[in-house]
Amino acid sequence: MLTELIIIFMGFMSRTKEADLKKVAIHNLGCKVNSYEAESMELMLKNAGYEIVPFDEAIIADVYIINTCSVTNIADRKSRQMLHKAKKMNPSAVVIAAGCYVQADEAGVKKDEAVDIVLGNNMKINIVDVLEQYFKDNTADEYVVDISHDTEYEELKIDKVSEHTRAYIKIQDGCNQFCSYCIIPYTRGRIRSNMYSCYYNLFNFLFCNFFNFRNDALNFSTSYSSSCIWNYAV
Tell me what pLDDT residue 3 has.
55
Q: Band of the pLDDT at 151, cuts 50, 70, 90?
A: confident
The CA angle 98-20-41, to the nearest 5 degrees, is: 25
Taking all residues of the chain, what is their mean pLDDT, rounded to a whole number?
83
Structural contact between residues 30 and 102, judged by C-beta atoms closer than 8 angstroms: no
Of the two residues 209 and 115, the one the predictor is more confident about is 115
| Contact in structure between 112 and 83 (CB atoms under 8 Å) | yes
- Cβ(82)–Cβ(27) under 8 Å? yes
Position 215 scores a pLDDT of 40
pLDDT at residue 92 tops 50: yes
Mean pLDDT in residue range 117-123: 96
C-alpha dihedral over 60, 42, 116, 107, to 10 degrees?
A: -140
DSSP category for residue 185? H
**Residue of 51, 104, 42 whose CA lies nearest to 79:** 104
* Sequence-separated (6 or more) residues with CB below 8 Å from residue 92: none
193: left (phi over 0), alpha (psi -120 to 50) or beta: beta
172 vs 154: CA distance, rounded Å: 9
For residue 66, pLDDT over 80 is answered with yes
- pLDDT tens per residue, range 194-229: 887 777 787 777 777 665 544 434 444 444 444 555
Q: Alpha-carbon distance 176 to 185, whole Å?
A: 6
Percent of the chain with pLDDT over 70: 78
Least reliable range by pLDDT among 70-79, 164-173, 221-230 = 221-230
Range with the lowest mean pLDDT among 74-83, 131-140, 153-162, 176-185?
153-162
Task: Give Cβ neighbours of residue 136 (< 8 Å, ≥ 6 apart).
Answer: none
Instruction: Tell me if the pTM is above 0.95.
Output: no
Burial category of 184 from C-beta neighbours within 10 Å (exposed 0-12, middle 13-18, buried 19 and up)? buried
Q: What is the mean pLDDT of residues 126-141?
A: 91
Q: Over the stretch 31-49, which tens digit does the pLDDT of each residue have?
A: 989 999 999 999 999 999 9
